[in-house]
DNA sequence: ATACATTTTGCAACCGGTTGCAAAAAAGGC
DNA sequence: GCCTTTTTTGCAACCGGTTGCAAAATGTAT
């Protein structure tokens, strides 16, 4: 079944080294033998075994793509772009689903067993220590959609959550809302904390505006909906910054069901700008994460680190922008 | 950096064979040497190189997961379950994004270069010939979310699209609609054809009911919305079976925007039951695909075929069921 | 033609493991 | 204790490639 180097060599009447060289960019082979080898290889349908060659070259062209965000619709786009981006550069994604696992030890071992050249942690919820375990194991790694930390031990690519929070705050201020609120995801997620920080920071300069904060139990539709349902029973704010689009849509649903009109009675701004946000029957005003840029930079960084392992950890944060749709009253 | 078998052997004071055996289930090793080996391995932080061993064992435990459905929200769940299911069985998914590629030749070559043990084609739109190319190349393969064909050359797991179409037709008949329609995805998709077939078949027994058929240009929100917008300009039907949930939600959006009330003025039933269908502000009546079962069966089949390559091609179709929500009037 | 520089080639060792086989060690029977 | 059977062990070859090195072939200059 498997056609090997040796078969090709035999058929072409050359040594195995010659065949190997014919398939290696920039190796020393005469055009005559290369032609002989190619003819034989075509006839036999040979393609070199990437894993066998990795043994000596030390490169597998395998990149671990590790995530625990398999319920966030944004991540379908994330996987799409990662796989395409890696493939375009001749790399292969080995997908790892962490599910509820928070200890890196299993996945690190797996990465080593399969000798991945590098790894990308694509997760907005994992702590910095996760990626650090990879680095400690000698695996070139970048934490994609991670958050900013001072003196990071690993490459981090993402958005500036504090700045996003501030941007959301300013969006609400500009539109003249007098009672605003932040509805975060789970309080212990580091990204949630940063967004709250930025939001409150922006509002701090406007003491005339009333601010409150609450946390949904998860980054999910149901959590957003039930949180908003609770809030509406008390004295709700005029406008909410929700830490995520799915959460926002849940909140939106609760508001509509309570008979409130959006954005006249209540305003909502989300974060992510996932596919559904632009569906006209949702039409969510939100803050867009530049997903393509984040992913492009992540891939570049991981490749760079594979080539230059000692490379200093870098943090690349990309700016977000408000996408004007229908769940916030227009700017005056 | 890399601790090898030899390092462990040296440290434990045994031969490399002993170490290899200590890590192989059911090999002949005394408990005494196994203990010595384990101690040495722990101290050194050794884990065996899966790729090196694949060279002799012929098994990589790598499974190609090939898809071109990176825009269908259902597939986030699909990837989640596939990765988890494979991991639980000690297998690793090598993800391949086909994008717009329709020729299997590239991905087949890649599968061979990485010596995958098997492959799963997860796609509702690829033709049967795609998976057949894998089989022809000697790669154990199952086409997941594929469609039924007579005398299939490869394993196919999915739903019975004809039965689903029939089920949708019957749902509309039972609810007393007198003018019904099928809005499919692109006409050339084989699944679309089958769904239309079943739908029309069911209606054929009810000549008193008026039936029409149209096709959206893609399985997307925009396509569904624009198709429905067009339909509403003429004489629309009372109820529509849309070939997909995303399409349905697009159609729903158009209907709502036209000031029609759902389900009083117009009824819609989708297919898939993806996450968003149960969001209360969408609340789509739809037909549920048993995703977990399809994926479980796909994994079992691919494993079975790895172990018994000559195995006869099998088609496993799972039954769907209507999920009652708010876009169809209640059954009388 | 000869001497020398350059390119191309094959040999053989190696990458990190596995495995058939025969020798060595342990266990069992008397 | 000795002999037989069973288990454990190490040797060495092998999986499918790559690569340093020296020999062979080719090209250039005289």
User: Mean pLDDT, to the nearest integer, of A110-131?
Assistant: 95
Evaluate if residue B25 carries a pLDDT over 90. Answer: no
Q: Would you place residue B27 in the very low, low, confident or very high pLDDT band (cuts 50, 70, 90)?
A: confident
Q: Would you place residue B156 in the very low, low, confident or very high pLDDT band (cuts 50, 70, 90)?
A: very high
Average pLDDT taken over every residue of chain A:
95
Residues A265, A237 share a domain: yes
Q: Which member of A54, A60, A109 has the closest CB to residue B47? A: A109
Q: Would residue B98 count as lying in a domain?
A: yes
Q: Which residue of B has its CA nearest to A101?
A: B84
- Report if CB B8 to strand D is under 7 Å: no
Q: Would you place residue A14 in the very low, low, confident or very high pLDDT band (cuts 50, 70, 90)?
A: very high
Q: What is the pLDDT of residues A45-91, one digit of tens each?
A: 999 999 999 999 999 999 999 999 999 999 999 999 999 999 999 99
Look at residues B14, B56, B10 and name the one whose alpha carbon lies nearest to residue B34. B14
Q: Would residue B55 count as lying in a domain?
A: no
Find the CATH number of the domain harbouring A89: 3.40.50.2300
Residues A135, A152 share a domain: yes
Evaluate if residue A218 carries a pLDDT over 90. Answer: yes
The answer to whether B79 touches A79, Cβ cutoff 8 Å, is: yes
The answer to whether A178 touches A210, Cβ cutoff 8 Å, is: yes
Residues B227, B180 share a domain: yes
Q: What is the pLDDT of residues A221-261, one digit of tens each?
A: 999 999 999 999 998 899 999 999 999 999 999 999 999 99
What does the pLDDT read at residue A125? Answer: 87
Evaluate if residue A1 carries a pLDDT over 80. Answer: no
Residue A289: both structure tokens together: 């994460």
Round to a whole number and report the distance in Å from the CA of B258 to the C1' of D12: 81
Residues A138, A77 share a domain: yes
Q: Residue A177 phi/psi, 5° resolution?
A: -70, 140
Q: Would residue A328 count as lying in a domain?
A: no
Q: Would residue B331 count as lying in a domain?
A: no
The residues pairing with B118 across neighbouring beta strands, listed in sequence order, are B63
Q: What is the pLDDT of residues B2-21, one digit of tens each?
A: 899 999 999 999 999 999 99
CB contact under 8 A, A113 and B257: no
Nearest 5 degrees, angle CA A221-CA A222-CA A226?
120
* Number of compact structural domains in chain B: 3
Residues A266, A168 share a domain: yes
What does the pLDDT read at residue A191? Answer: 85
Round to a whole number and report the distance in Å from the CA of B20 to the C1' of C24: 19
Look at residues B152, B149, B145 and name the one whose alpha carbon lies nearest to residue B121. B145
Show the domain range for B302: 62-160+290-319
Residues A136, A23 share a domain: no
Q: Would residue B326 count as lying in a domain?
A: no
The residues pairing with A318 across neighbouring beta strands, listed in sequence order, are A159
CB contact under 8 A, A282 and B281: yes
Q: What is the pLDDT of residues B303-314, one digit of tens each?
A: 999 999 989 999
What does the pLDDT read at residue A152? Answer: 86
What three-state secondary structure class fits B179? Answer: strand
Residues A282, A230 share a domain: yes
Q: Would residue A332 count as lying in a domain?
A: no
Residues B272, B197 share a domain: yes
User: Mean pLDDT, to the nearest integer, of B37-52?
Assistant: 95
Residues B201, B284 share a domain: yes
Q: Would you place residue A115 in the very low, low, confident or very high pLDDT band (cuts 50, 70, 90)?
A: very high
What does the pLDDT read at residue A149? Answer: 84
What does the pLDDT read at residue B274? Answer: 96
Residues B276, B165 share a domain: yes
Residues B138, B66 share a domain: yes
The answer to whether B142 touches B157, Cβ cutoff 8 Å, is: yes
**Cβ contacts of A74 on chain B, cutoff 8 Å:** none
Phi-psi region for residue B274, left (φ > 0), alpha (ψ -120 to 50) or beta?
A: beta
User: Mean pLDDT, to the nearest integer, of B260-281?
Assistant: 96
Shortest-distance nucleotide from A34 CA to C1': C8
Q: Would residue A141 count as lying in a domain?
A: yes
| Chain A / chain B CB contacts < 8 angstroms | 136
Percentage of chain A modeled with pLDDT above 90:
90
Q: DSSP per residue over B201-238, as a string?
A: HHHHT-TTSEEEEEE-SSSSHHHHHHHHHHHHHS---S
CB contact under 8 A, B99 and A93: no
Q: Would you place residue B1 in the very low, low, confident or very high pLDDT band (cuts 50, 70, 90)?
A: low
Residues A230, A277 share a domain: yes
Residue B90: both structure tokens together: 């000690």
Q: What is the pLDDT of residues B99-153, one digit of tens each?
A: 889 999 999 999 999 999 999 999 988 999 999 999 999 999 999 999 888 888 9
Q: Would residue B276 count as lying in a domain?
A: yes
What does the pLDDT read at residue A147? Answer: 87
What does the pLDDT read at residue A184? Answer: 95
């Amino acid at each position: 079944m498997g056609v090997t180097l040796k078969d090709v060599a035999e058929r072409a009447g050359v040594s195995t080294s010659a065949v190997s060289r014919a398939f290696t960019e920039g190796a020393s082979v005469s055009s005559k033998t290369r032609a002989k080898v190619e003819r034989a290889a075509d006839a036999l349908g040979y393609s070199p075994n990437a894993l066998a060659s990795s043994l000596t070259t030390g490169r597998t062209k395998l990149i671990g793509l590790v995530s625990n965000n398999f319920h966030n619709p944004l991540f379908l786009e994330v996987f799409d772009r990662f796989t395409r981006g890696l493939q375009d550069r001749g790399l292969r994604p080995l997908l790892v689903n962490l599910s509820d696992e928070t200890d890196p030890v299993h996945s690190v071992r797996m990465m080593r067993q399969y000798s991945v050249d590098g790894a990308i942690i694509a997760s907005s919820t994992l702590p910095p220590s996760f990626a650090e375990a990879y680095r400690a194991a000698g695996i070139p790694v970048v934490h994609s959609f991670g958050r900013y930390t001072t003196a990071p031990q690993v490459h981090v690519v993402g958005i500036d959550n504090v700045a996003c929070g501030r941007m959301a705050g300013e969006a609400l201020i500009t539109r003249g809302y007098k009672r605003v609120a932040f509805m975060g995801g789970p309080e212990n997620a580091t990204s949630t904390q940063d967004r709250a920080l930025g939001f409150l920071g922006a509002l701090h300069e406007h003491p005339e505006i009333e601010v409150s904060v609450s946390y949904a139990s998860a980054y999910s539709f149901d959590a957003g909906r039930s949180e908003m349902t609770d809030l509406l029973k008390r004295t709700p704010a005029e406008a909410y910054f929700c830490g995520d689009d799915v959460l926002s849509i849940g909140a939106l649903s609760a508001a509509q069901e309570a008979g409130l009109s959006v954005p006249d009675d209540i305003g909502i701004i989300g974060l992510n700008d996932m596919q559904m946000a632009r569906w006209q029957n949702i039409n969510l005003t939100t803050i867009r994460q530049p997903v393509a840029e984040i992913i492009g930079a992540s891939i570049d960084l991981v490749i760079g680190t594979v080539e230059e392992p000692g490379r200093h950890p870098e943090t690349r944060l990309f700016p977000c922008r408000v996408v004007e749709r229908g769940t916030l009253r227009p700017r005056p």
